[in-house]
Amino acid sequence: MIEVKKIQKSFNGKTIIEDVNAVMKAGQCNLIIGASGSGKTVLMKCMVGLFQPEAGEVLYDGVSFTQMNDEQQTEIRKEIGMLFQGSALFDSLNVEENILFPLNMFSSDSVARKKERVNEVLERVNLPGVNKKYPSELRGGMKKRVALARAIVLNPKYLFCDEPNSGLDPQTSLVIDKLIRDITVEYNMTTVINTHDMNSVMEIGHYILYMYQGHKEWEGSNQEIIFSKNQRLNDFIFASDFLKDAKDMRMLEQRGKIDPERNMDDLLK
Amino acid sequence: MIMLKGMFARPENGRMYWREFMHQCSEIGIGSLGIVAIISVFIGAVSTIQTAYQLVSPLIPLLTIAQIVRDTVILEFAPTLVCIVLAGVAGSRIASELGNMRVSEQIDALEIMGINSRAYLILPKIVAALIMIPLLVVIAMVLGIWGGRLAGTMAGIIPANIYDKGLIEFFVPYNVYFALTKSYVFAFIISSIPAYYGYHVRGGALEIGRASTKAVVVSCVLILFADYILSALLL
């Protein structure tokens, strides 16, 4: 579990995030959503220690990360995996070497065991047999999956994903979302995902934190978001007419005005 | 200074650091050997021809040409000129490699893994430069003097035996010590300045290019400045 308590961060005197509180539980996907510039990336970077917040604290399973010295933070970081927006694979290393990198750095297993582990995680992300390919030879979705494999190779307790679907087509985005959700449940990880993708919000958002101009505007689950009365949240989530209609349909279903078991084929005839 | 201080931490895994160090030795040493060899041979050759062109008096013995070429190559051309070229070759590579890693979040990825990115990425580059650049300077000295001999004999300026005799006469070993001292200082400049600019890049591809150019310019100016200071202090 990760707790964020009254986090505040500014750059050049301008407050970017202020007084943000959240509790992100293990075994579920915790989404941070918000418009560009709302402070979600800064919040995530504060959580992993890439930025030092000016006030507040981040607790990993009850232990304050922000109060730790560098060595203690390094120990916690060994339990963190992160999937970056641009994948952040090492260009000069092939897929196998990329995934082996954290293993070589921190694991005392034999070379054979390490390679076995690489193949395990590559199979887990549905990418067997790409061991010798270089990042430049991979498509966007494949890069994301390799980066995910590298992030989970040390069995981390916490997984951070910064816009995992950016630049991906809707189908590949679904594959990545499903993979992250399944891995989160399977390994009982605390997963924090920073996203713009409304499909992800609806599909995997066990817990959703909506940021607006640097502060927490709303929090809840993907079930609750449909019925939220928060105007800013609704304007952000249901921005298009299509999504507004979808929301209205869902609400009518919930109120029993439309049969949720209706046969769409019959209706379309 | 803060960057340099941050480099000195206990390595997470000594073998990985050693591997990175060897990789950097190969990149800086072997990667620059070709250009260093070409420059050195031609600088030596041109020195011989120009020295002969200026020594018009029949009272000056021919072997003086060899002595002048030897001393200019050892004292100035091999350490300073080669290091200025290396600032362009190795320095821009270091700055752009680190800049690209910064922009594409690879450095952040290392930090998240719990790896001291400064220690892992910068320290091996500086140590590799401190070892390989003086070696390249020694190679440049040998090739420069040999290039002078080759040009001298091919152009009929000075016979090989007289050139060889001139090389030995009035040889001051301290000059080699001085050149090596300069090359260590320059090696530190060539590796640390581009590392600083590359590591602290913010933005995108344009900023990487700018950082790389700035790193080379600053390194070259500092090399020339250090050259003057060291010459004033040690000669």
CA distance A268 to chain B (A): 48
A207 bridge partner residues: A30
Q: Examine residue B7 and state whether it is found in any structural domain, yes or no.
A: no
C-alpha–C-alpha distance, residues B92 and A48, integer Å: 31
Residues of B in contact with A77 (CB under 8 A): 111-114
Q: Examine residue B165 and state whether it is found in any structural domain, yes or no.
A: yes
Q: Examine residue B5 and state whether it is found in any structural domain, yes or no.
A: no
- Averaged pLDDT for residues A212-225: 89
Under the banding of pLDDT at 50, 70 and 90, the label for residue A205 is confident
Longest dimension (CA), chain A: 67
Instruction: Give the 3-state secondary structure of residue B19.
Output: helix
pLDDT number for residue B60: 85
Q: Examine residue A249 and state whether it is found in any structural domain, yes or no.
A: no
Q: Examine residue B39 and state whether it is found in any structural domain, yes or no.
A: yes
Q: Examine residue A129 and state whether it is found in any structural domain, yes or no.
A: yes
- Per the structure, the complete domain to which residue A145 belongs is given by 89-155
Q: Examine residue A124 and state whether it is found in any structural domain, yes or no.
A: yes
| Nearest residue on chain A to B18, alpha-carbon basis | A105
Under the banding of pLDDT at 50, 70 and 90, the label for residue A261 is confident
CA distance B129 to chain A (A): 20
pLDDT number for residue A168: 81
C-alpha–C-alpha distance, residues A156 and A143, integer Å: 20
Tokens 């340099």 found at: B4
- ipTM of this predicted complex? 0.83
DSSP string over B141-173: HHHHHHHHHHHHHHTTSS-HHHHHHHHHTT--H
Cross-chain residue pair A104–B15, CB shorter than 8 Å: yes
| Domains: count for chain A | 1
C-alpha–C-alpha distance, residues B78 and B143, integer Å: 9
C-alpha–C-alpha distance, residues A20 and A211, integer Å: 9
Convert the pLDDT of each residue in A221-255 to its tens digit.
888 888 888 889 888 888 777 777 777 777 777 77
Instruction: List phi, psi (to 5°) of B215.
Output: -60, -45
pLDDT number for residue A55: 92
The sheet with strand A190-195 has its strands ordered as A80-83, A158-162, A190-195, A28-34, A207-212, A215-220
Residue of B105, B107, B120, B121 for testing the chain A interface, max A β-carbons within 10 Å: B105
Q: Examine residue A183 and state whether it is found in any structural domain, yes or no.
A: no
Cross-chain residue pair B108–A50, CB shorter than 8 Å: yes
Of A170 and A29, the structure prediction assigns the larger pLDDT to A29
Convert the pLDDT of each residue in B147-167 to its tens digit.
999 999 999 999 999 999 999
Interface residues of A toward B, Cβ cutoff 8 Å, are 48-50, 74-75, 77-78, 80-82, 84-86, 88-91, 101-102, 104-106, 160
Q: What is the mean pLDDT of chain A?
A: 88
Tokens 């203690």 found at: A72
Q: Examine residue A144 and state whether it is found in any structural domain, yes or no.
A: yes
Interface check B13 vs A, CB under 8 A: yes
Could you read off the pLDDT tens digit of each residue along chain B, which spans 235 residues?
A: 666 776 777 777 888 999 999 999 999 999 999 999 999 999 999 999 999 999 878 888 888 999 999 999 999 999 999 999 999 999 999 999 999 999 999 999 999 988 989 999 999 999 999 999 999 999 999 999 999 999 999 999 999 999 999 999 999 999 999 999 999 999 999 999 999 999 999 988 899 999 999 999 999 999 999 999 999 999 8
Residue type, A249: M
Q: How many residues does chain A have?
A: 269
pLDDT number for residue A267: 67
Q: Examine residue A168 and state whether it is found in any structural domain, yes or no.
A: no
C-alpha–C-alpha distance, residues B133 and B36, integer Å: 10
Q: Examine residue A49 and state whether it is found in any structural domain, yes or no.
A: no
A102: Cβ contacts below 8 Å, ≥ 6 apart: A150, A153, A154, B113
C-alpha–C-alpha distance, residues B48 and B45, integer Å: 5
Q: Examine residue A37 and state whether it is found in any structural domain, yes or no.
A: no
| Domains: count for chain B | 1
- Averaged pLDDT for residues A81-87: 90
pLDDT number for residue B51: 93
* A90-94, A163-167, B161-165, B217-221, range with the lowest pLDDT: A163-167
- Per the structure, the complete domain to which residue B90 belongs is given by 13-234
Contact A96, A159 (CB under 8 A): no
Q: What six digits make up the tokens of B166?
A: 């001139």
Instruction: Evaluate if residue A203 carries a pLDDT over 70.
Output: yes
Q: Examine residue B210 and state whether it is found in any structural domain, yes or no.
A: yes
What is the DSSP code (8-state) at residue B116?
A: -
C-alpha–C-alpha distance, residues B213 and A215, integer Å: 40
Interface check B16 vs A, CB under 8 A: yes
Residue of A105, A106, A166 for testing the chain B interface, max B β-carbons within 10 Å: A105
